Amino acid sequence: MPGDYRSIVHKNLITVIGFCFILIFSYSYYAQYIRYSLNIGDDGNFAQVAKELLTGTSPHDIRYGYGLFWYKIGEWLFALFGPSFLLAQVVFFAFMAVTAAFVFAAVHRVTQSWIAGVLAGLLAALVPNFPPTAFYGFCSLINLFTLAGMALHWRALSGREVVPAAVALALTFLIRPDFGYAFSLPFIGLLVLTGIVQGRQRLLRLAAIALGTLAIVLLPVAIMALKGGYLGLMVDDVLAYPRTMAQFLLPSSEANPDAVPADAGTLMQRPPVATIWEGSWQAAGYAFAVYAPVVGLAAFVLIQLGGAALRALASPARVFDHLVLAAALFVVPLASFPHYMLFRPDLPHVANFMPGYIALMAIFAWQVSGGDILTGQRYGRARRLWLRLIGWLVALVIIASLAVYGGIGLTLPGTGAITRSYGADQPFTIATGETRYVPAEDKAQLGELKNLIEAHSAPGERIVCLPFCPGLAFISDRRMLLREYYADDSFLLTDPGWIDRTIEKTLSARTPVVVIFDWAVNGTEISRVKVWAKRYVDALRAAGYREITVGGVMVYVRPEAAPTP
């Protein structure tokens, strides 16, 4: 027993030291460029939603892309320190740093390899996920770490493994409910397996511990939401996930098929596979980042099953334990896989998927290179050597693919890496008084847009920013009129009355400024606002709004606010 205790302490100490090392490295690295770049889309969305909530906008009057709790974090910090774009970045990078630390912790927990854990953690830190959606990686890794603990001890689960996993699951449901559904599957499955081995009483006891932990985490949030009048909104956010998915996949019953263009709502297209060997290095790198995980996940499944078949006769119980662990680990990156592969196959969404994938591939590389996943006692020495050689080759391919992704993420914009700061050497002061550093061309455009907004509206007035540029309201100290901060041509299918409602709301509110970027958000011509929402643009012109063009951005100002020619 003393020896076992010392072993447990030693393992935990290494995990804590490695976790802290990755945290310190991450914070030191991110501090070099946290003040650089000014993303008025995703970054600005978080900052503006948090500011709107702080300044009294009802939570019911905003359409959220993610769980309300994520934006509440920003609101609470803004209440303490004041609205600040830098503070929004601090939230993002803090989550990114913790995610990288959990990459180390998860890999080390499964492999007991300090080297594998540190290398994986450093890669996740150097090329972190897209900052304003840092919760993707965070939710994935806290669940990967805790589910790994459950899977490693599933035959004798105790509260020591169940409680952390339930906490991780509760936080996930608050921030990203669809991930919560996905991670519930291995969580429940592991509890059931333990119940099968240890009996119904043990299962009921563990289930009670899990439910109690969920209640302890969620109850304070529920009470706060009840007092704030938005409990129903948060509950609906969790329960409405199947309906939300149906809206993306099925047209609204209200839509008139004859009035909707055939290509409306077309999802962003993946690059052709041939781009990997035919395109420029940037295009090839992007295509590689999109498709390499498909091969990696498939290889993981095939080798886990193949290795289990090779070793089944030698040690069936051990093989089953290995498959339980593999299944629990596989679900985590798989949960975020459809988001980039089916809906948004761009580098930011690939980067959101990568922390969980990096951890899984690091574990996989360790298994095939140093473990006995492909070998068994019943094979001769020569055959075992060949199988081990195959394992080493697979590990080298995995490591090489992760290294290629690291090079892509460090040199192409779209991840949270230091690439964000390249060329961003011009100071730009926003309404909060803080200074950001941006490229010269961005400074010129943002400065002109900010000046136009400030010249034709008063502080705190509500403006319209389409299709996705709420950060303009934040940097000019304005508020948002529409509840939708992001709008694209899918609204023609999912919300066919949106254009008419928006015309009425904009004109009845006598909105002083409407900003429309000429941006094909889905890579199609119809996804430009001036195309799919042409009736809205025409209505502004008919109402006397004056159009001022700023480098591809159309600014419409209220007639009485327009300057005399």
User: Model confidence over 540-551: pLDDT tens digits?
Assistant: 999 999 999 998
The two structure tokens encoding residue 253: 């019953």
Domain boundary among 387, 408, 434: 434
398 in the same domain as 371: yes
Domain boundary among 396, 419, 434: 434
Percent pLDDT > 70 in the chain is: 91
Q: What pLDDT score was predicted for residue 240?
A: 77
The two structure tokens encoding residue 137: 């990686």
414 in the same domain as 323: yes
Domain boundary among 399, 434, 469: 434
The two structure tokens encoding residue 435: 């200074």
- Work out the pLDDT band at 250, boundaries 50, 70, 90: low
- Work out the pLDDT band at 243, boundaries 50, 70, 90: low
Residue 464: beta bridge partners? 514
With beta carbons less than 8 A apart as the criterion, state whether 360 and 330 touch: yes
- Residue 543, exposed/middle/buried by CB under 10 A (0-12, 13-18, 19+)? middle
Residue of higher predicted confidence among 259 and 558: 558
Distance CA 349, CA 343 (A): 9
Q: Is the pLDDT of residue 247 over 90?
A: no
Which DSSP category does 341 fall into?
Answer: I
Reported pTM: 0.92
Q: What pLDDT score was predicted for residue 488?
A: 94
Strand pairing report for 462-466 and 435-438: unpaired
The two structure tokens encoding residue 544: 């006397």
Number of domains present in the structure of the chain: 2
In 3D space, the residue among 267, 263, 271, 237 whose CA is nearest the CA of residue 249 turns out to be 267
Q: Give the pLDDT mean for 106-120.
A: 94
Q: 220-227, long-range: CB within 8 Å, 24+ apart, which pairs?
A: 221/69, 221/174
Distance CA 480, CA 48 (A): 8
Which DSSP category does 342 fall into?
Answer: I
552 within domain boundaries: yes
Taking CA atoms, 538 is separated from 436, 492, 542, 543, 556, in Å, by: 36, 17, 6, 9, 11
36 within domain boundaries: no
418 in the same domain as 447: no
The two structure tokens encoding residue 101: 């630390």
557 in the same domain as 450: yes
Q: 226-229, long-range: CB within 8 Å, 24+ apart, which pairs?
A: 228/59, 229/58, 229/59
341 in the same domain as 301: yes
Which of 269-283, 442-456, 507-521 is predicted least confidently? 269-283
- Coil, strand or helix: which one is 557? strand
Q: Is the pLDDT of residue 405 over 80?
A: yes
Distance CA 71, CA 132 (A): 11
Strand pairing report for 513-517 and 553-557: antiparallel
427 within domain boundaries: yes
Q: What residue has token string 């460090």?
A: 410
Residue of higher predicted confidence among 545 and 560: 545
Q: Is the pLDDT of residue 507 over 70?
A: yes
Q: What pLDDT score was predicted for residue 213?
A: 97
395 in the same domain as 298: yes
216 within domain boundaries: no
With beta carbons less than 8 A apart as the criterion, state whether 31 and 452 touch: no
The two structure tokens encoding residue 183: 């991670």
Residue 525: domain span: 435-561
Task: List all residues 6 or more positions away from 217 whose beta carbon is below 8 Å from its beta carbon.
Answer: 166, 167, 170, 171
Q: Is the pLDDT of residue 124 over 70?
A: yes
335 in the same domain as 296: yes
Which DSSP category does 248 fall into?
Answer: H
For 491-564, strand residue ranges (E) read 513-517, 546-550, 553-557
Distance CA 519, CA 556 (A): 16
Q: Is the pLDDT of residue 97 over 80?
A: yes
- Residue 301, exposed/middle/buried by CB under 10 A (0-12, 13-18, 19+)? middle
Q: What pLDDT score was predicted for residue 1?
A: 43
